[in-house]
Chains A and B, each alone.
Chain A
Amino acid sequence: MTSSSEIIDMDQLDHTRCRTWPFLQDFCVTCGLCSSACPASGVDETDPRMLVRMASLGLVEDLVDARWPWICTMCGKCENVCPMQIEIPDLVRNIRSKRDREKVPGILHKGLVAALETGNNLRLPKEDFKFIIEDVAEEIAEEPGFEGFEAPIDKKGANILTTIHNKLVNTHTEDLKHWWKIFHAAEEDWTVTSENWEGTSWGYFTGDDDAMKVMAGRIVEQMERLEVKTLLWPE
């Protein structure tokens, strides 16, 4: 980011750099509604209105290097109130996509690479995954009213295929039980898959469309393989 005392030659900037981005940022009237709505306004002395203007001006490097586009949760409150219909969350995501992958913050890219290589963000092997699923299912089966409970894995012809957030087979296995019990009570015909079960697609987070495509494609593949028509993707 440029320091506060630096003077930028505005007319040397190429304002057309972001003109092909289809987010309508040039139509901003600087009303401030987005910044008023944004829960992250003020962090790093930045707000969405500022971001939109920097894109219009062509200050791409400053945007890509900034931390704020990664602080943003892409909640969409800004776009919801914007009178010019500027697609600010997509703008933020686009900025994220411009960063070199090694500079993507935290574990996001590493997890994504893991998912592309192994089918899940944790590199959890298939057998370990199945073990955890069966283990949790056994615990449920011990509860009154859930005798005989089983968690279907790779069940062909089921009604619903559901993906799984990696933390549910890592640190929060208890949380699997809530919706499995609902399935059971509703007598739903459901299944998870033993491979490519990951629901947390960090390609979406990091602006990596290709990775997103791959992961989505794999889930579709599973659905075709198991002949399941309905996908429940709670991510």
Chain B
Amino acid sequence: MADKNVLIIGGGVAGLSAAVELADLDIRVELVEKSNFPGGHAIGYACKAIHNTCVRCGACMVEEKLQRAVSHPNINIMTGTQVQDIFKNNRFSVSIRQEPLYIDPQKCTDCGLCSNRCPVDGAILQSFSKNNHPFYAVNKEKCRYFKNRSCTICFDDCPEAAIDLDKTASEHVIEADAVLIAAGFQPFNPKSKPYGYGRFKNVVTALELENILKRSGGVKKPSDNKLAQKMAFIQCVGSRDTKLNHLWCSKVCCGSALRMARLIRERQPETEVTFFYIDVQTFGKDFEQVYREVREDIRMIRAIPADIYETEDQRLKVNFVNHPLHETREDIFDLVVLSVGITPGEDIGTLSRIFEVDPDEFGFLKGGGTGMPVSKNGVFTAGTVQGPMSIPDAIAAAGSAVWGIIQYLKR
């Protein structure tokens, strides 16, 4: 099927998996990724192996899919790119807009000098994967050049002259025979919860903790970079919540948090961990044993805290009912991790309008049945854009979508 072309929207694990499967079958793939770095959220997740043993979280799988995708001759990845609109005849003509690549991938050697010399925190972004090239990207929102042209340090200092801050965005039209929407999810923003997120430095989300673990291998407090001695995980933040119209369980957070807890306990045995939950969800094929071990290793409290206040030294006072007692308790933690839920991707509204696919009652774009596109027009979905799912499930969903795409292309 070398004459066929598929457009994949989203470069997370589902999009990358699908791209590789299609490309292996000699189908050309155009993959558009909104951010600077394909890999989705999961590329920023840490390996959570303990006792030298894999815990099957799937984080390394994302790395593998990314590596295969960036090096595959049949796959073209466009970063900083979003879909604007489509025209459909019997093919899709998709107009896309690509933000400028300020760092030229042909010239860049990933030396990191720009990042080292940049005077503004966060103006040069760093990827999580060496399969992202360039490993760095310019963040227009923070960069001084884009405010008032007052700084050109990266441009001046780059030994390969790879940086051009004057590049402009470009628009193209991509022709495709089928489209796969793998635009991922949005982690719930817990600002509205009484936990001080966004105000208290040492309250982070579970995804942010993944990133911390991935970059540094240990848990340091954001406030002072010292090791956290007492940590708490609060589960179900933004899930199982009718007030937010999030009447679902996000499925993966119990596994993610408990695996991180075990990893932290192995790396930093002096760190105490408390886990606040409603119902622990099963994860992995050896859950029975893992659950038994973790219950002996960390404190598990079957109640969700309601208030967090900050102490003078940026520690956190957490109020919770001390289940199974009826009284409340206030404990002080160095770091609180909020297991935020998987919510519909922020681009679903736009994509559902452009591709004429309707979100379900909760705002996700579900797939169709066997070999059936989600709409009748050759538009497919895969991954967390469909709803909460784990990394292995996203890979399987991608395979399922690819099967449907192939049948559709053959008709």
Contact = CB atoms under 8 A, between A and B. Distances in A.
Direct A–B contact in the complex, CB atoms closer than 8 angstroms: yes
A81 interface: yes
B306 A36 contact: yes
6 contacts: A29-B278, A36-B304, A37-B319, A45-B326, A77-B306, A81-B306
A36 B193 CA distance: 14
Interface in A69-125: 77, 81-85
B305 A36 contact: yes
Closest 5 CB pairs of A and B: A42-B327, A32-B303, A37-B306, A35-B321, A36-B306
Contacts of B327: 41-42, 45, 47
Interface residues of B, number: 22
Interface in B300-329: 302-307, 319-321, 323, 325-328
B240 interface: yes
A2 to B, nearest CB: 16
A200 to B, nearest CB: 29
B240 A83 contact: yes
A124 B304 CA distance: 48
B285 interface: no
Contacts of B320: 32, 36
Interface in A41-58: 41-42, 45-47, 49-50
B278 A47 contact: no
A66 interface: no
A72 B235 CA distance: 27
Given A41-B321, A47-B321, A83-B242, A35 B236 contact: no
Contacts of B236: 31, 83
Nearest to A30: B278
Contacts of A59: none
A59 to B, nearest CB: 16
A231 interface: no
A100 B327 CA distance: 29
Contacts of A85: 242-243
A35 B236 CA distance: 16
Interface string A13-52: 0000000000000010111111111100110011101100
Given A81-B194, A81-B306, A36 B242 contact: no
Interface in B248-305: 278, 302-305
Given A37-B307, A41-B321, A31 B240 contact: yes
Which residue among A32, A41, A82 has the maximum number of chain B CB atoms within 10 Å of its CB?
A: A32
Nearest to B301: A32
A42 B326 CA distance: 5
Given A30-B278, A33-B306, A47-B321, A41 B326 contact: yes
Nearest to A50: B326
Contacts of B321: 32, 35-36, 38, 41, 47, 49
A32 B307 CA distance: 12
Contacts, number: 72
Interface in B224-255: 236, 240-244
Contacts of A33: 303-306
B303 A35 contact: yes
A44 to B, nearest CB: 8
B339 to A, nearest CB: 13
Given A33-B304, A36-B304, A36-B307, A41 B243 contact: no
Contacts of B240: 29, 31, 83
Given A31-B303, A36-B328, A47-B327, 4 more contacts: A30-B302, A36-B303, A41-B321, A41-B328
Nearest to B305: A36
Interface in B128-170: none
A144 B303 CA distance: 58
A178 B236 CA distance: 47
Which residue among A31, A37, A45 has the maximum number of chain B CB atoms within 10 Å of its CB?
A: A31
Contacts of B243: 82-85
B304 A38 contact: no
Contacts of A38: 321, 328
Nearest to B326: A47
A32 B328 CA distance: 10
A40 to B, nearest CB: 9
B326 A83 contact: no
Interface in B323-346: 323, 325-328
Contacts of A50: 326
A32 B243 CA distance: 16
A45 B325 CA distance: 8
A148 B51 CA distance: 85
Nearest to A27: B242
A30 B279 CA distance: 10
Given A81-B194, A83-B242, A85-B242, A42 B307 contact: no
Contacts of B304: 31-33, 36
Contacts of B306: 33-34, 36-37, 77, 81
A219 B366 CA distance: 56
Nearest to A32: B303
Contacts of A41: 321, 326-328
A42 B327 CA distance: 4
Interface in B197-232: none
Contacts of B305: 33, 36
A7 to B, nearest CB: 18
Contacts of A34: 306
A35 B307 CA distance: 11
Nearest to B307: A37
A108 B251 CA distance: 49
